[in-house]
Structure 1
Amino acid sequence: MLKLRQPKPLFLKASQRAVLLLHAYTSTVQDMKALAKFLHKHGYTCYAPSYAGHGLTIDEFLNYTTDDWWQDAYNAYQLLENQGYKHIAVIGVSLGAILSLKLTEHFPIDACISMSAPQDRSVNDLFKRLEHYAEYLHQFQNSNVELDLKSLENKAAIQLQAFHQFVAATISNASLIRAPIFLLYGELDDAHYQSSAQTIYNHVNSTKKQIKSYPNTGHLMTLGKDQTQLFGDILDFLDQHHPIQA
């Protein structure tokens, strides 16, 4: 049986311009590793925290909710502030996008980049994502025991309902956002994510806002076939609104 360990955060120090990178639900900092290294190479300090329970067993994972992951994101922001970084941008994918939006709603963020932000995802849709995660983990643990999906659904009910409510509350406060914002979605992803990006675009109060799609990219945008174009666009946006030489 493979022993699972909490993934370590990624911290790459460079200039005084910091970028906080927030990964997806059921995923790890691996989502953001290539992007962090790319931005670091171009002079940005990059920090990608690991959320509680992620990368661990499904039972351990279900001990946590979006309240815990919001605390993880807030703690990561505070860590950068406490280390003297006065200019911070945030980048997130999926759940990380929602956490990025909430940080930008409540704190002085230089720029926000949101990828694959969900909106109005049903608890059933969320459970399908969790089911895939549980099946993936099951390959490494107790492979001779059948995965009990009904038991999993019952155990996950509190977490998934909290997730649904957290997303809805964050999107409803999008008008609080005034920082420059870049909203991205993959055309190979569910069409829902295009409408979600458009909804956020329409409701933020940013005077500097952009929206863009990527034709060969799915949900985990940082790992898609448009990666080179995506990374270049993100760098251009940061250089414009979160410049190292400012």
Structure 2
Amino acid sequence: MSHTEIYFKEGRRAVLLLHAYTGSVADIRRTARALQKANYTVYSYNLSGHGTDRVEDVLASSPTEWYASVKEAVAFLHEEGFQEIAILGLSLGGTLATRATIDHLTTIGAGVFNSPVTEASGEGSRVHRYFLKIAEKQKRDKGLSTEEIENEMEAIKIGIVKQLDDIKQFSHGVRENLDKITLPFYIAQSQKDELIHPQAMVDLKNALVNAPVTFESFPESTHVITIGKEYKRFQESVIRFLDKLAWTV
């Protein structure tokens, strides 16, 4: 089984699932399996730089590269014979899915799970702290000394500031075009999200003025809702949304 890609071929309806910033396909594999059991073909992959034990690899990539890979994934599914593709994503993956919807890479529907498409107070600083925490843990796990960790963290601290600014700019471009979305749109909100303020999901719903929105709130879930304590109810809500889309196959 690949640790960098998921391709569960089942029914004629395809779903592209996108993972979160610093995450990997491992975070959404459980959701992918549930969709497969519901007769959906599911494709996912690690965004460039993700899924390794070096956060420096993430910093070496960019939102532009990540979005280009979304286009490639859609093209791949078209080549596989799937013309209607729903695109959904967790956190950063949701921002990419939203941009894909604006650019008409899906003609059927899309959705996000705890995604920072809209701004909410403190989100950038939360992600910044989380990233540095991951970086320090990786280096401790490798047995680096305190001095070595401090030295390597200096470059990471500079890199994360730049990358979060790049992501912010990418998200701004998405946010400015939300009124162009007219397809059915799914939003999952974790009320105990430790990274993205739950209000951001409400703001996104309100900004989608021309789209029919399905909004689902999960009171006991944290940021990675796909593996949280309410994951089954979450999966069921996603499947209900997908089942109601105007598929022709």
Scaled by the length of structure 2, the TM-score of the pair is: 0.88
Distance (Å, rounded) in 2 between the aligned partners of 1:132 and 1:71: 28
In structure 2, runs of 5+ residues without a counterpart are none
Letter in 1 for 2:204: I
Match of 1:74 among 71, 74, 82: 71
**Among 138, 159, 166, which residue is 2:163 paired with?**
159
Aligned with 2:244 (options 214, 237, 240): 240
Show the 5 A alignment for 1:93-104: 93-104=90-101
- Please state how far the C-alpha of 1:185 moved relative to its aligned partner: 0.9
The structure-2 alpha-carbon separation of the partners of 1:157 and 1:19, relative to structure 1 and needing over 3 Å to count, comes to: same
Q: In the TM superposition, what is the alpha-carbon distance from 1:106 to its structure 2 partner? A: 0.7
* Contact 2:25/2:44 (8 A) holds in 1: yes
Write the distance in 2 (CA, Å) between the matches of 1:97 and 1:71: 15
Q: Where does residue 208 of structure 1 map in the other structure?
A: 212
- Give SS of 1:241's match: coil
Partner of 2:30: 34
> Aligned partners of 1:191 and 1:63: how far apart in 2?
22
> Aligned pairs, how many?
240
Superposed, 1:13-28 pairs within 5 Å as 13-28=9-24
- Report the residue type matching 2:227 in the other structure: L
For the structure 1 residues 163 and 191, does the alpha-carbon distance in structure 2 shift closer, same or farther, using more than 3 Å as the test? closer
Is the CA contact (8 Å cut-off) linking 1:181 and 1:206 kept in structure 2?
no
Q: CA deviation at 1:180?
A: 0.2
Pick which of 205-214 and 31-40 moved more.
205-214
The match for 1:133 is 134
Matched with 2:149 is: 147
Give the CA deviation at 1:207.
4.3
Identity, % of aligned positions = 24
What RMSD in Å do the two structures reach over aligned CA positions?
Answer: 2.1
Corresponding letter in the other structure for 1:147: I
Distance 1:142 1:70 in 2: 35
Q: Distance in 2 between matches of 1:132 and 1:74?
A: 31
> Match for 1:105: what amino acid?
I
Unaligned runs of 5+ in 1: 1-5
**Which amino acid counterpart does residue 174 of structure 2 have in structure 1?**
T
Q: 2:5 aligns with which of 9, 14, 24?
A: 9
- Contact 1:49 1:72 survives alignment (8 Å): no
**How far off is 1:205 after superposition?**
4.0
Higher deviation after alignment, 85-94 or 167-176: 167-176
